[in-house]
């Protein structure tokens, strides 16, 4: 991957990125989005926003013009046939289940006739309560602390008054990497800040909205039930997260749920020991948040890579994102 980055930097300097683009790798490029809209207007975690609606349209237009976009049915067909991917295919996904996916992304996808899969955490749809990362972000935005150290942490995080977004990023990273369960850390955070979120208006989709999207040709997949990090769970809790999310989705919607994306999804949040249970629960695909082009689909159907889209559209940067990626 380092060699790829050096090569693309040289090509950019020479103005030849578009030449290299013609020779990019075959495979399935999975592009993932989270929230769509204006991050500056959000009172919770601004880092969850991928881009504006305008830039989403630009991203999708470029993907549509440079790849063959496939739906979940076609993805599964390729895996089951064990065929080598000899084309440049694209698969579009959205994680979490935020309301702006319905209000902004869904109309754009429909107008452009692009299929996508929306991975939703069913507990957030059911309860309409604030997710743990957004509550953490709210505390960091509202508190006036210069530094933060929870009793369960072994490090102190310095908080900048000028860069709340970076503060949130650092604190969330520490929450995810700590050995203590996130729920227990949240109790500690509330105690230290002395703040309490008294009212929360849900920013997540409803079952009716998900059903409307599914009826229009979108795929709804699981993103666990409570968005707990899988590697922190025992076997019983992992089984519940997998089975309960699938059960609720299939009760509320029309189609069988065949895919899941791992909460957080980096290499430390799942392992191959989980694959048998994932398959036992009836899933055929599982998506990570790891950065690679999918080529050996059958062998890696429970650790599929995805490209994170997290900024405004820039054609050269988008090309480099794809050109730098390793394959698996």
226 and 319 assigned to the same domain:
yes
pLDDT tens for 267-281 read 999 999 999 999 999
Please compute the mean of the pLDDT values over residues 9-21 and round it to a whole number.
81
Q: How confident is the model at residue 6 (pLDDT cuts 50, 70, 90)?
A: confident
261 and 290 assigned to the same domain:
yes
pLDDT at 10: 77
Q: How confident is the model at residue 71 (pLDDT cuts 50, 70, 90)?
A: very high
83, pLDDT greater than 90: no
Q: What is the CATH number of the domain that holds 304?
A: 3.20.20.370
**Cα–Cα distance, 279 to 258 (Å, whole number):** 10
Average pLDDT, the chain: 95
pLDDT at 1: 59
151, pLDDT greater than 70: yes
pLDDT tens for 179-236 read 899 999 999 999 999 999 989 999 999 999 999 999 999 999 999 999 999 999 999 9
pLDDT at 197: 92
Q: Which domain holds residue 261?
A: 25-127+211-323
pLDDT tens for 112-140 read 999 999 999 999 999 989 999 999 999 99
pLDDT at 82: 81
pLDDT at 143: 95
Taking the whole predicted model, whether its pTM rises above 0.85 is answered as yes
**For the chain, what is the domain count?**
2
pLDDT at 320: 93
Q: What are phi and psi of 321, to 5 degrees?
A: -55, -45
For residues 287 and 262, is the Cβ–Cβ distance under 8 A?
yes
**Cα–Cα distance, 1 to 296 (Å, whole number):** 18
Contacts of 118 (CB under 8 A, 6+ apart): 93, 94, 97, 101, 210, 213, 218, 219, 220, 221
CA torsion angle for 325, 297, 275, 172 (degrees, to 10)?
Answer: 20
Query: CA 95 from chain center: how many Å?
Result: 4
pLDDT at 36: 98
pLDDT tens for 155-175 read 999 999 889 999 999 999 999
186 and 215 assigned to the same domain:
no
226 and 306 assigned to the same domain:
yes
43, pLDDT greater than 70: yes
232 and 138 assigned to the same domain:
no
68 and 144 assigned to the same domain:
no
122 and 138 assigned to the same domain:
no
Percent of the chain clearing pLDDT 70 (strictly above): 98
- Give the residue from 228, 322, 221, 226 showing the smallest Cα distance to 5: 322
pLDDT at 198: 87
Inside any domain, residue 66:
yes
**Distances 314 to 37, 56, 309 between C-alpha atoms, Å:** 17, 11, 11
**Cα–Cα distance, 85 to 26 (Å, whole number):** 6
138 and 283 assigned to the same domain:
no
215 and 318 assigned to the same domain:
yes
4, pLDDT greater than 70: no
Please compute the mean of the pLDDT values over residues 290-309 and round it to a whole number.
96
**DSSP H or E segment with residue 278:** helix 275-280
3-state secondary structure of 241: helix
């Amino acid at each position: 991957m380092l060699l790829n980055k050096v090569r693309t930097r040289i090509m950019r300097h020479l103005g030849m990125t578009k030449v290299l683009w013609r020779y990019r790798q075959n495979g399935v490029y999975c592009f993932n989005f989270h929230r769509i809209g204006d991050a500056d207007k959000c009172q919770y975690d601004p880092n969850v926003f991928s881009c504006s609606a305008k830039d989403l349209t630009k991203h999708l237009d470029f993907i549509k013009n440079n790849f063959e976009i496939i739906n979940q049915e076609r993805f599964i067909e390729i895996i089951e046939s064990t065929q080598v991917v000899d084309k440049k295919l694209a698969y579009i996904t959205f994680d979490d289940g935020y309301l702006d996916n319905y209000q902004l992304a869904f109309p754009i996808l429909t107008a452009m006739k692009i299929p996508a899969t929306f991975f939703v955490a069913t507990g957030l749809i059911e309860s309409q309560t604030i997710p743990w990362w957004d509550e953490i972000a709210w505390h960091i935005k509202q508190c006036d602390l210069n530094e933060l150290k929870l009793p369960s942490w072994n490090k102190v995080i310095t908080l900048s008054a000028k860069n709340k977004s970076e503060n949130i990023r650092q604190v969330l990273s520490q929450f995810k990497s700590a050995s203590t369960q996130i729920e227990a850390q949240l109790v500690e955070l509330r105690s230290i800040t002395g703040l309490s979120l008294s009212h929360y208006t849900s920013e997540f989709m409803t079952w009716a909205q998900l059903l409307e999207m599914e009826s229009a040709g979108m795929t709804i997949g699981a993103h666990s039930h409570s968005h707990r990090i899988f590697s922190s769970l025992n076997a019983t809790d992992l089984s519940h997260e997998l089975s309960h999310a699938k059960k609720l989705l299939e009760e509320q919607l029309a189609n069988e749920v065949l895919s899941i994306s791992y909460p957080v999804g980096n290499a430390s949040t799942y392992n191959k020991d989980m694959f048998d249970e994932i398959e036992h629960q009836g899933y055929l695909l599982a998506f990570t948040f790891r950065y690679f082009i999918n080529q050996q689909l059958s062998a890696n159907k429970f650790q599929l890579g995805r490209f994170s889209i997290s900024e405004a559209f820039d054609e050269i940067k988008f090309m480099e994102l794809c050109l730098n990626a390793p394959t698996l």
